[in-house]
Amino acid sequence: MHRWFQICGGLALAAAALVGCESLWVGYKTPNPASCEAPGYGCAADEVCNPQTRQCESRLTTLLDLSSPDPGSGDGGLPTTCSGPVTYQCEREMFCVQAPLGTGPTKRLYAVSESDIWAVSGSRILHYDGKIWNTVTSCGAQSAFVDVYAASNTDVWVIEGRRIVRFQGGLISEVATDLLGAGEQLRAVFGVSGRVWFVGTGGTILQWDGSKLTRQVSGTTANLQGIFGPDGQNLWAVGDSGTILRYNGTSWAAVASGTTANLNAVHGRSASAIIVVGSSGTVLTWNGTAFSSALLAGAPELLGVSVSGDGSGWIVAQSGALFRSVAGAWSLANAGGFLARPNYDVWNFSLSSAAMVGGNSRSVRSRWNGMTWVDSFDELLPAPQAMGAIATPVSGAIAMGQGLDGNTYSITSDFVSLGSRVQIGNAGWVGLAMWVDPAPTGNRLAWVVGKSGLSYSYDGSTWSPQATSVSDDLVAISGVNASAVWAVGSDASKQNGRVIAWNGISWVIVTSMSLTNVPMSAVAAVNGQAYVAGKGMALQSCTSSSCSPITTTGTNLGTQTAYSIWTTQSAGSSGLDIWVAGTGGNIYRYKTQGDTVTPFGPVETKTTKTLRHIFGKNHSDFYVVGDGGTILKWNGTAFAVVRTDTVGSVTAGVVLPNGTPVMGGASAGWLTLVQ
């Protein structure tokens, strides 16, 4: 699978962010031995042309920076034609956004199974395979996608206002329609018994019989908004002004609804158990003979309904309200959703399982686990700032960042389900860094520091303030154990540095060092001491009472800033490798033993992006992440660029107990490895 986009005079290029304008050619010829950039020559789709050597290199192993913006991966940049192989934004061995930010609300979904769900937003077609939501990149919206239906996992139909698109057997094509003027628009699609129906404005109904589309007589001019049926002889279409039509296998006929409300959706579990929902809280129930009417409290705009064979079901609303049925009676299950956002559509699998989509400016996907709805990561914590592995209260990870309301929160998760969102500090306070104690001996499982010198410790359920006696912004924190934690930062002017240490009882200021004009931005603690760095790549080793400078050498260090430090056991020795990363894509390694020639030397990265965080397993398996969606992986010898589908800044990461790496950032969202 590949992503495609247009660049450099309309040439179609393989999906990769390019270093040079002519770096990749899809219609490549035999590589020119002198230059793969020469006109008429190029590299294979899984290779990249190195502009320095002008030779083709594998995209999996190249050291080139492939993190530049990809014009084809964002909303509005997707192709508007839909033909050829079905391609996806995320491929194997890529880090992909689990919950894409800024893609607009997701409007409709259709489930083949719990691990095979299709959905559409205005600009995107999405598929969930039980692990991630993946964007179909070979088909972009001309106007706005409005509905989706999946006859099977290899036969999927998507509609826009005046376009029908079909995915069949891994190929995508457009199905010609005979729609009339621009005012005739499709609104909903559903299929059963090998046939597919499309309904829309002005009473439009089209039927696909397996080979062609045929216009059917609806007998109404009302706009039709929804369609569903348990079989080909019991099909229902609903729409404006209380319109309900029933198809008996031969023709459509109007059925009295008893309401003038606009009807938005229809679903059911049998021919004699159909539910219709609409405006003003309207719920209509078909018992096999007639519809009975009810109004749900608060008169919300009801947008979607789904019921399953066990009699359970959900109704979702524009207001965010959720209504649940366990055995036929509907009751309010959530007065306003998790946030003030519409819930557009829902699919009920059983009493203990359901899926829901919605959102305002962001795409929200939620799962019902039998006890509670769990929102997608981006809605509860759209701006992850830091992450760490944790054993209590769950085995997995804890993340810290800003919510949509601007407050700082933490979430614990095993990345299958989410724990509670817990606020840190007062409203508006911004947390900047977090450290998780890998072997806590007391009730302080983790620390968060941030603006104005504030710090908080976590006991598994609440965050409690711990006075620091400083007002400097604290931007990094690391510890050895419960009695040895260091935090660093700078004053309000961002000119002077600060180091403080937790001794198990209180925070103390580390004073025996001069940090004038040297703001600190990175710290890593190991073996009873801490290594700190900041402006000018100034590296120092600290105890709880003092710090000593470490001699650093390199080109233009004074213009660089360190944003992350990480320590690993040196290969084949008892010493440490101390890794420092920061501006300009620069990474330096300091060896405490065995390297007397270059005690602080640069490591080649082939990127100029600012690097924000280092994390991983050991000295031969770790990641460095940063701006522009940059992800570098160290294999023990060299850094290689790892492919990603984001150009946002990646600022945090953690390796889960099962060995899976997870990353995130305020603008990048949540990234998981596609395997």
Burial of 528 (0-12, 13-18, 19+ CB in 10 A): exposed
Residue 494 CB partners (closer than 8 Å, separation 6+): 519
Residue 296 lies in a domain: no
Please check whether residues 490 and 522 belong to one and the same domain: yes
Please check whether residues 163 and 60 belong to one and the same domain: no
Please check whether residues 109 and 66 belong to one and the same domain: no
Q: Which of 141, 159, 176 is the endpoint of a domain? A: 176
- Give the model's pLDDT for residue 80: 67
- Give the model's pLDDT for residue 98: 77
Both structure tokens of 437? 């104690």
451 DSSP assignment: G
Residue 166 CB partners (closer than 8 Å, separation 6+): 155, 156, 157, 158, 172, 173, 174, 175
Highest mean pLDDT among 69-83, 255-269, 584-598: 255-269
Residue 491 lies in a domain: yes
Secondary structure E strands in 417-465 = 418-424, 431-436, 446-450, 455-458, 463-465
Distance CA 290, CA 231 (A): 18
- Give the model's pLDDT for residue 369: 86
- Give the model's pLDDT for residue 5: 23
On whether the CB atoms of residues 164 and 186 are closer than 8 A, the answer is: yes
Please check whether residues 458 and 481 belong to one and the same domain: yes
Q: Please, which pLDDT band fits residue 351 given cuts at 50, 70 and 90?
A: very high
Q: Which of 146, 176, 206 is the endpoint of a domain? A: 176
Q: Which tens digits make up the pLDDT trace of 473-518?
A: 999 999 999 999 999 998 777 788 899 999 999 999 997 556 777 8
Q: Please, which pLDDT band fits residue 102 given cuts at 50, 70 and 90?
A: low
- Report helix, strand or coil for 132: coil
Higher pLDDT: 400 or 79? It is: 400
Q: What is the CATH number of the domain that holds 133?
A: 2.40.10.500
Residue 242 lies in a domain: no
Residue 636 lies in a domain: yes
Distance CA 343, CA 364 (A): 8
What is the 3-state secondary structure of 291-356?
EEEEECCCCCCEEEEEECCCCCEEEEECCCCEEEECCCCEEEEECCCCCCCCEEEEEEEECCEEEE
- Give the model's pLDDT for residue 612: 96
pLDDT over 70 (residue 533): yes
Highest mean pLDDT among 54-63, 246-255, 571-580, 583-592: 246-255
Both structure tokens of 51? 């502009």
Please check whether residues 532 and 644 belong to one and the same domain: yes
Helices (H), 333-436: 377-380
Both structure tokens of 64? 């080139």
Q: Which of 176, 196, 231 is the endpoint of a domain? A: 176
Residue 525 lies in a domain: yes
Please check whether residues 67 and 127 belong to one and the same domain: no
Domain range enclosing 499 = 426-673
Q: Which tens digits make up the pLDDT trace of 295-337?
A: 998 778 999 999 998 889 999 999 888 999 997 789 998 754 4
Please check whether residues 557 and 578 belong to one and the same domain: yes
On whether the CB atoms of residues 568 and 587 are closer than 8 A, the answer is: no
- Give the model's pLDDT for residue 133: 87
Please check whether residues 475 and 508 belong to one and the same domain: yes
- For tokens 């930062």, name the residue: 489
Which residues lie across from 191 on neighbouring strands? 196
Residue 348 lies in a domain: no
Q: What is the CATH number of the domain that holds 474?
A: 2.130.10.10
Please check whether residues 475 and 555 belong to one and the same domain: yes
Give the number of other CB atoms < 10 A from CB of residue 543. 15
What is the residue-wise DSSP string for 521-578?
Answer: EEEEEETTEEEEEEBTT-EEEE-SSBEEEE----TTGGG-BEEEEEEEEPTTSSSEEE
Residue 484 lies in a domain: yes
Please check whether residues 574 and 613 belong to one and the same domain: yes
Total of domains in the chain: 3
Q: Please, which pLDDT band fits residue 48 given cuts at 50, 70 and 90?
A: low
Please check whether residues 517 and 658 belong to one and the same domain: yes
Please check whether residues 72 and 115 belong to one and the same domain: no
Residue 445 lies in a domain: yes
88 DSSP assignment: B
Distance CA 534, CA 557 (A): 11
